[in-house]
Amino acid sequence: MFRTDYFEVPQECREELSDRFWAKVIDREPDQCWPWTGSCTKGGYGQMSVNGRTTTAHRVAFALHNGPVLEGHVVCHSCDYPSCVNPKHLFLGTQHRNVQDAIEKGRFNPRPPEPRFGVDNPSAVLTPHKVRAIRAAKKAGRTQHSLAEQYGVHPMTVSRIVRRLIWKDVD
């Protein structure tokens, strides 16, 4: 989660926020990464609420230590460890520069992975054999609700299988 808006720790909540913040940090040697132990995003970045608004922990660390995060800038990690909040490892940059840095270090994949369908999807519940059985049972008069219950899927999944909107390659 990258924001490019202005961010500053309000003076009136600085002490309370600082105490709350540092209570969720593993304190190590000055040059080591200091991992965030609180809530994290799916990407591994620490996050916390400041004045009712969720922001990343490394932005808070930067603002507490260095002052405001200027508009149009993001807080970047020199260590490339998303949950690190050591102010020595944080610097301001533009989103463009942050992406360039990621590309140079081989950490940037501009394309999401191709979606995987059917048995290639690791979370697939059904197999081609079960799909054939669902189609045959529906053709024989079974309800989609009873089939959904039997196979542990949503009734709409049964409907989409029967109408060949999904599992199209299974005859």
Predicted pLDDT of residue 5: 57
Integer Cα distance of 90 and 146 in angstroms: 56
Predicted pLDDT of residue 121: 79
Predicted pLDDT of residue 60: 92
In the block, which residue shows the tokens 């949950």?
Answer: 83
Confidence (pTM): 0.60
> Which amino acid is present at 52?
G
Question: How far lies 47's CA from each of 2, 44, 54, 124, in Å?
Answer: 11, 9, 7, 32
Predicted pLDDT of residue 119: 77
What are the structural domains, with CATH classification, of the chain? 11-104 (3.90.75), 118-162 (no CATH)
CB of 21 closer than 8 Å to CB of 48: yes
Integer Cα distance of 135 and 158 in angstroms: 8
Q: For the chain, which ranges sit under pLDDT 70?
A: 1-7, 9-10
Predicted pLDDT of residue 10: 66
Predicted pLDDT of residue 6: 61
